[in-house]
Chain A
Amino acid sequence: MNSEKNEREPLFSFKNRKLLLNPLNKDNPITIQVLGICSALAVTAKLEPAFVMALSVIAVLAISNVIISLLRNGIPPRIRIIVQLVVIASLVILVDQFLKAFVFDVSKQLSVFVGLIITNCIIMGRLEAFAMGNKPWPAFLDGMGNAFGYGWILIVVAFFRELLGSGTIWGYPVFDKLGLYDVGYKNNGFMILPPMALIIVGIIIWIQRARNKDLIEEK
């Protein structure tokens, strides 16, 4: 790393692009690293909370990655986890306060889940694994990449759960408008229970591994 210090790296070099794009697929925090599963189960019964949750995680992860990366040389290793937690918790409280003051309706819908961002293992995982050892710009890209990787899975899961469980997309009654109920279709109540989120995540992992041979472990 030291030898590279003198020449300035372009902002979106191959390495930096990989930081941003890898977590979307080959290094996805949910499907490959299996982190942040708990919140993926909890907020995905409907699209809208899943979407706002994804946005909040993007904000918190990108900013906390940058802050920790800026502080990385001064943080005493013995209390580094505490420092990381303090940064995450303060950011989450700030996000929550802002939502309550300016978009009260959204904050009401997310209720406890904003607070639960603190316990999202992806965030601490990235701070510990990446931000502690890298400069702010790569740390920012890494944060954005991982949060997007988390977000798109959340939205895909929420899409199927809301569509099959409640027959709506973003609250719009699709199946009702299509007239499916008139021909005897019924909503699958099982879809809105948390275990189905796990099954959908499992299907996504299956598809992803079948398409991407690198991910298949050797026996």
Chain B
Amino acid sequence: MYSNKYIFIYSSIMVIIVAAVLSTAAMLLKPFQDRNIVVEKMRGILSSANIESTTNDAIKLYDKYIKEEIVINTSGEIVSNYENGSFTKGDIRAFDIDLKKELYNKSKKLNYILPLLVCEKDGKKTFIIPLYGKGLWGPIWGYFALSDDYNKVVGVTFAHKAETPGLGAEIDTKAFQQQFIGKQIFDDKGDFTSIKVVKGGIDLIPENLRKHGVDAISGGTITSNSVSDMLNDCLENYLPYIKKQK
């Protein structure tokens, strides 16, 4: 029979050893993981503008195509501008903005700022809007690329932390994302409609609304609805800015 003293000493030593091993591993691997996260973010941004990249060339392609990183405030004024590797105004890089924090500030009715990335490829400008929202099991996020008329969708990417594989997790597949290309976020009168993910498919809705909708994923209703909500919540923030540009 083991004494209580033995059990206490045994468990203390075990916990200390495990803590040491795990924190060392976490510290040593952190730089690799952080780099992966930055590269992943750049790949998501590039992919929304239909630029394919690999883990190795993402940083190079990002510097080549993303010409401007603009930070705007709630009334649509430009707060900060990072152009071709240097600041022309302010000192915040849109790439570094934590959208989750800004959206939290919005929900608390505090001041918040918004990132907007400008991609330039073959002389055509594309405006990329980062997205962030709640999925079924965890956060979902993505990038939304608009053409220079601020209406037509050039491309989107979505990613998620923990949606159900085969169901909600399908939002990060090409098949789902390609449906968005060519859709419009404003209707003919110029009112903001966002883009809805329609359960049962867009054949069910009136024909004039079909250019503002895409097919949902069967078995992934809650994640599909979350995508609709995320698009609406994130895109509406940019309306003051878009109005000024038009």
A residues in contact (CB < 8 Å) with B: 42-43, 45-46, 49, 74-79, 82-83, 86, 90, 93-94, 97-98, 100-102, 104-105, 108-109, 111-112, 161, 165-166, 189, 192-193
Residues of B contacting A43 in the complex (Cβ-Cβ under 8 angstroms): 165
Are B219 and A78 touching (Cβ within 8 A)? no
Say if the beta carbon of B22 comes within 8 Å of chain A: yes
- Nearest chain A CB to B32 CB, angstrom units: 4
Residues of A contacting B218 in the complex (Cβ-Cβ under 8 angstroms): 189
Residues of B contacting A111 in the complex (Cβ-Cβ under 8 angstroms): 160-162
Per-position 1/0 for B201-221, Cβ under 8 A of A: 000000000000000001100
Of all chain A residues, the one with the shortest Cβ separation from B173 is A171
Are A101 and B11 touching (Cβ within 8 A)? no
- Nearest chain A CB to B5 CB, angstrom units: 11
Say if the beta carbon of B29 comes within 8 Å of chain A: yes
How big is the B interface, by class? 20 to 34
Residues of B contacting A75 in the complex (Cβ-Cβ under 8 angstroms): 10
A76 CA to B8 CA, complexed, in Å: 10
Contact partner, A192, options B14, B29, B40, B166, Cβ 8 Å: B166
Are A46 and B165 touching (Cβ within 8 A)? yes
The 6 A-B residue pairs with the shortest CB-CB distance, nearest first, are A45-B166, A101-B32, A76-B2, A101-B29, A104-B36, A192-B166
A98 CA to B33 CA, complexed, in Å: 9
Are B22 and A93 touching (Cβ within 8 A)? yes
Question: DSSP class of A's interface residues: helix, strand, loop or mixed?
Answer: helix
Say if the beta carbon of B7 comes within 8 Å of chain A: yes
Say if the beta carbon of B137 comes within 8 Å of chain A: yes
Are B166 and A97 touching (Cβ within 8 A)? no
With contacts A82-B11, A105-B55 known, what are 15 further pairs, Cβ within 8 A?
Answer: A46-B165, A46-B166, A49-B165, A78-B2, A79-B11, A86-B15, A90-B21, A93-B22, A94-B25, A101-B36, A102-B32, A109-B165, A112-B162, A189-B218, A192-B166
Are B162 and A76 touching (Cβ within 8 A)? no
Are B22 and A83 touching (Cβ within 8 A)? no
Residues of B contacting A74 in the complex (Cβ-Cβ under 8 angstroms): 10
Contact partner, B7, options A46, A79, A86, Cβ 8 Å: A79
A109 CA to B166 CA, complexed, in Å: 11
Tell me which residues from 165 to 187 in chain B have a Cβ below 8 Å from any Cβ of chain A. 165-167
A107 CA to B141 CA, complexed, in Å: 17
Per-position 1/0 for B10-47, Cβ under 8 A of A: 11001100100110011001001100100010000000
Of all chain B residues, the one with the shortest Cβ separation from A111 is B162
- Nearest chain A CB to B40 CB, angstrom units: 7
Of all chain A residues, the one with the shortest Cβ separation from B15 is A86
Residues of A contacting B40 in the complex (Cβ-Cβ under 8 angstroms): 104, 108
Beyond A45-B167, A90-B21, A111-B161, whether A97 also contacts B10 by CB under 8 A is: no
Beyond A77-B2, A93-B22, whether A193 also contacts B32 by CB under 8 A is: no
- Nearest chain A CB to B224 CB, angstrom units: 14
Are B7 and A193 touching (Cβ within 8 A)? no
Residues of B contacting A82 in the complex (Cβ-Cβ under 8 angstroms): 11
| Residue among A83, A94, A98, A101 having the largest count of chain B Cβ atoms under 10 Å | A101
